[in-house]
Structure 1
């Protein structure tokens, strides 16, 4: 499968972000560091803005891994659509696959591992059974290869 076969329909979580002029670099396209901010928007909307709180009271999420494959430029002006899918739920960690789209082009794919951490002890804490059920429902299924390379 080629990366251009990745579609937003492959992702149950969807978010939208506006591309700002200040996001561009000297070459006139969106700076690669801004890609991480777009990915954050997708994670936040999936984990914090839904009707299903994922983090327990007194807990938060920290990133343990973020890997990004840059596939195409993102150009100002416009917007980017962020697709997010849960690919694995551990006892205290979540693996996400994400993709950034401008128009119908997949511009980047990413894999992120986040850990549920107790804010007081700074140690990982097990996800609640409700959170696991919610996250498992966001795994979706693909008949094709996962969009991360």
Structure 2
């Protein structure tokens, strides 16, 4: 469930309808996910997800995330996401607009 919470936080940035980041014919894929568990998550309860852009590369970005419950950090993660061309299945450079938007979220 930790990874699902992290995915929710990533989707809010990557697929925001007001600021589409993926170029037509491309998709975002996870190249790396490092997840550190710090505490258990209790159910029922509310989990808050913090996500920030830690770095922006030519065709990739790195997100730093934290999961919080009842004021305590229960997990941290670092995720590298790559924009992939759906036809060639190879990395594809991020657009200038995507780089500008992602850089503003750092």
Same fold (TM over 0.5): yes
Structure 1 vs Structure 2 CA RMSD: 0.8
For the residue of structure 2 that corresponds to 1:64, the secondary structure is strand
In 1, Cα distance between the equivalents of 2:94 and 2:72?
A: 35
Instruction: Name the residue aligned to 1:74.
Output: 41
Instruction: Name the residue aligned to 1:86.
Output: 53
In 2, Cα distance between the equivalents of 1:36 and 1:120?
A: 28
1:45 aligns with 2:12: yes
In 2, Cα distance between the equivalents of 1:112 and 1:102?
A: 21
1:100 pairs, out of 39, 44, 67, with 67
Instruction: Name the residue aligned to 2:30.
Output: 63
For the residue of structure 2 that corresponds to 1:98, the secondary structure is strand
In 2, Cα distance between the equivalents of 1:62 and 1:104?
A: 31
In 1, Cα distance between the equivalents of 2:64 and 2:41?
A: 19
Q: TM-score, normalised by structure 1?
A: 0.70
Instruction: Name the residue aligned to 1:115.
Output: 82
Structure with higher strand content: 2
Unmatched tracts of structure 1, length 5 or more:
1-33, 140-149
For the residue of structure 1 that corresponds to 2:13, the secondary structure is helix
1:49 deviates by 2.2
1:50 deviates by 4.5
Q: Report the number of matched residues.
A: 106
Q: Structure 1 residues 53 and 137, CA, compared in 2 at 3 Å: closer, same or farther?
A: same
